[in-house]
Amino acid sequence: MKKIKLNIASNKTQELIGHLSNLEECDRDRMSSDGKFYMDKIWKLLGLPTHDELHTHMEKTMKELEENHDDITASNFDDNGTLLEEEE
């Protein structure tokens, strides 16, 4: 039997990921521990980082950048943690 895999490149899956991300972003503080547990399980099923993994990674990245680039601050990043390039 062929194993079914999620196509995270499909438009519907991208839309689902966006909705889940928005739900978690606006309601994470109000979620019960069970709700947070199941959101983390959903992210793992999708092969994406959990809320805590994402924030840990972003904090580590920020620390590394700050150590290597004194002039880079949090305002140099967009909401997704992507470094904004300065136009020359």
The dihedral region occupied by 28, where left means phi > 0, alpha psi between -120 and 50, and beta the remainder, is alpha
> Which amino acid, one-letter code, is at 87?
E
Segment 52-68, tens digit of pLDDT = 888 888 888 878 777 77
pLDDT (0 to 100) of residue 47: 86
Q: Calculate the CA 47 to chain-centre distance.
A: 11
Indicate the domain borders of the chain.
11-76
* Parts of the chain with a pLDDT under 50: none
Degrees to nearest 5, angle at CA 30 with 51 and 80: 35
pTM of the shown model: 0.59
pLDDT (0 to 100) of residue 4: 64
Residue 52 CB partners (closer than 8 Å, separation 6+):
40
pLDDT (0 to 100) of residue 62: 79
